[in-house]
Structure 1
Amino acid sequence: MTEYSFPKQLRLLTSTHFKFVFQNPKRVSASYITILGRLNSLGHPRIGCAISKKNLKHSHERNRIKRLIRESFRYNQHQLPAMDFVVIVKSGIIALDNNAFTIALEKLWNRHCLLAHKF
């Protein structure tokens, strides 16, 4: 049985973790979403979000996006390579509904899987 939990070890928690990803990332993008990824040596994927107040003014909008990102990651964590991911969203993201946003994330996760298999 596959476990779909989201414990602390699957999260990027410190600025050092984020800096590691930003140094030499593999980048995949859609219209309003960019996912940066970098291979890690942990044997499992980790995720962090970079959502600025400049792009999403209201906290409830930022929180909705973060919830959707975490949920998508949680369901896809067993198919993803052992990489650290940082999800960056742009200002037009608020126009997407939850379903469209989730579909866009799924496509980006799949593209990261294909990228990881090339290396």
Structure 2
Amino acid sequence: MIKFTYPRELRLLTPFDFNYVFQESIRAGSPFITLVSRKNNLTHARLGFAIAKKQVKRAHERNRIKRLVKEYFRYHQHQLPNIDFILMAKSPVTDLDNQQIVEIFDKLCQRIITKQKI
């Protein structure tokens, strides 16, 4: 049975993990979100966030973005290859509604996956 949980193993937590992804990354961007990624040596995908207060000023807006992306990731984790993703938000993302944020993240994930296979 497939579990749709978001345990600690699926998160990028340490500065070492973030630095590893930023060193030789593949990027996909939109005017609202930038997705930085790198293939990992694990059997699953991992997700991290780098949302600056300077870009998204209010905490509830940063939390909304994280909540939406975590939910998408939780449901699609079994379809994603072993890639580490870091989401970086830009200031106009606060003008989008929830569905638009999820759609943009989905498109960026698909773009990253196709770039990784090349």
Which bracket does the TM-score occupy, shorter chain normalised?
over 0.9
Q: In the alignment, what sits opposite 2:78? A: 78
Q: In the alignment, what sits opposite 1:39? A: 39
SS at match of 2:116: helix
Give identity over the alignment, percent: 45
Matched, 1:87 2:87: yes
Q: In the alignment, what sits opposite 2:110? A: 110
Displacement of 1:76: 1.7
1:35–1:87 Cα contact (<8 Å) kept: yes
TM-score, normalization by structure 1:
0.94
Q: In the alignment, what sits opposite 1:8? A: 8
Deviations along 1:48-69, one digit per CA (max 9) or x if unpaired, are 0000111111111111111011
Displacement of 1:95: 0.5
Query: Aligned equivalents of 2:78 and 2:112: distance in 1?
Result: 13
Displacement of 1:116: 2.0
The count of residues paired between Structure 1 and Structure 2 equals: 118
Query: Aligned equivalents of 1:87 and 1:67: distance in 2?
Result: 12
Structure 2: stretches of 5+ with no match in the other structure: none
Displacement of 1:115: 1.6
Structure 1 segments, 4+ long, off by >3 Å, are: none
The one-letter code of the counterpart of 2:80 is L
Query: Aligned equivalents of 2:78 and 2:102: distance in 1?
Result: 17
Query: Aligned equivalents of 1:79 and 1:87: distance in 2?
Result: 18
Deviations along 1:62-118, one digit per CA (max 9) or x if unpaired, are 111110111111122112110111000101100100011111111111112212222
Structure 1: stretches of 5+ with no match in the other structure: none
TM-score, normalization by structure 2:
0.95
